[in-house]
Amino acid sequence: MAIRSILLTVSYDGCDYSGWAVQPGFKTIQQTLNDAATSLIGRKTTVHGASRTDAGVHALGQRALIQVDCPIPTENFQKALNDRLPESIAITEVVEKPIGFDVIGDVKAKLYRYTIYTGQTRPVTRIRYCWHYPAKFDIDAMSEAANSFIGEKDFKSFASAGDNRQSSVRTIYQCEVKQEGDWIYIDVEGNGFLYNMVRNVVGTLTDVGRGRIEANKIGEILNACDRTAAGSIAPASGLCLMWIKY
């Protein structure tokens, strides 16, 4: 039976998981998907993700690849896997891809959205999916600072100290700050991201919005290539992986 590569689009509420990647002794999104796929196919199966989201981070458009040589039709995988997954994870699309498709290497762009609620009373029905930060923000200053992230730059200052990847250069296509009433949305689109990079960018932008960092200092922070030069890290709960494009 021929091997097939099936690309999954996955949505999840990350609150109760220790991130995407398998970690012995911890509940993760990848392990939960592996267990569902293994149950369906009848032998140990690994689901490979396009992005390693942190503990507590959510997704509407994570991508993952599974290789199978079973008789189940591709179009049946969505329902069959969803029947074996908890309510906090859902497969929203399945597409067959050519053998050799690289779920990580073929990525062209990813979009993360960060949500902040600035009202005084916590939004109980959405508290798991935002950062409740009751304060006034200078949105114009945040937008000015956000523009400084656009382009190909070294984001070492915005990576976790534990990120040991060979290159910290990434290209940001969009970094936009929008306010709708008490809600602030920060969209960051790029060709890839370092560990904790988006959360560190958001934390720095909120420091700009509160007047703790000047909007025109982002270039200096980038040039420092030092995590201590940037602002605080934003909580995981407000971050969502919206989509990944190939």
Residue type, 52: R
Distance CA 220, CA 142 (A): 16
- Residue 166 confidence (pLDDT) above 90: no
How distant, in Å, are the alpha carbons of 27, 68, 93, 128, 161 from that of 22? 8, 20, 22, 23, 21
pLDDT exceeds 80 at position 34: yes
pLDDT exceeds cutoff 80 at 162 = no
Q: How confident is the model at residue 5 (pLDDT cuts 50, 70, 90)?
A: very high
Name the residue type at position 185. Y
Q: How far is CA 54 from CA 51, 73, 160, 218, 228, in A?
A: 10, 32, 12, 24, 21
Q: Is the pLDDT of residue 163 over 80?
A: no
pLDDT at residue 20, as a whole number? 97
| 186 CB neighbour count, 10 Å cutoff | 24
pLDDT recorded at residue 92: 98
Q: Dihedral sign, CA of 229, 230, 235, 236?
A: negative
Please, what is the end-to-end C-alpha distance for the chain in angstroms?
Answer: 28
Concatenating the DSSP letter of every residue in 175-227 gives EEEEEETTEEEEEEEES---TTHHHHHHHHHHHHHTTSS-GGGHHHHHHHT-G
Task: Give residue 165's pLDDT band: very low, low, confident or very high (50, 70, 90).
Answer: confident
Rounded-to-integer distance, Cα 68 and Cα 124, Å? 42
In terms of Cα–Cα distance, which of 155, 145, 159, 146 is closest to 217? 145
Which amino acid is located at 114 in the chain?
A: Y
- On average, the pLDDT of the chain sits at 96
pLDDT at 161: 76
Contact by Cβ (8 Å): 155, 168: yes
- Give the domains, in start order, of the chain with CATH numbers: 4-97 (3.30.70.580), 109-245 (3.30.70.660)
pLDDT in tens, 85-122: 999 999 999 999 999 999 999 999 999 999 999 999 99
The string over 62-87, giving b where at least 16 C-beta atoms fall within 10 Å of a residue's C-beta and e elsewhere, is bbbbbebeeeeeeeebbebbeebbee
Predicted confidence (pLDDT) at residue 240 exceeds the cutoff of 90: yes
Tokens coding 65: 């690849």
Residue 114 in contact with residue 234, Cβ under 8 Å?
A: yes
Residue 54 appears among annotated catalytic residues:
yes
- Percent of the chain at pLDDT exceeding 90: 95
| Banded model confidence at residue 80, pLDDT cuts 50, 70, 90 | very high
Q: Evaluate if residue 164 carries a pLDDT over 80.
A: no
* Residue 155, token pair as written in the block: 């984001």
Q: Which one of the listed residues 13, 16, 35, 54 is annotated catalytic?
A: 54
Using left for φ > 0, alpha for ψ between -120 and 50, and beta otherwise, residue 87 falls in alpha
pLDDT given for residue 40 in this prediction: 95
Higher pLDDT, 1 or 113: 113
Average pLDDT over residues 124-135: 97
pLDDT value at residue 191: 96
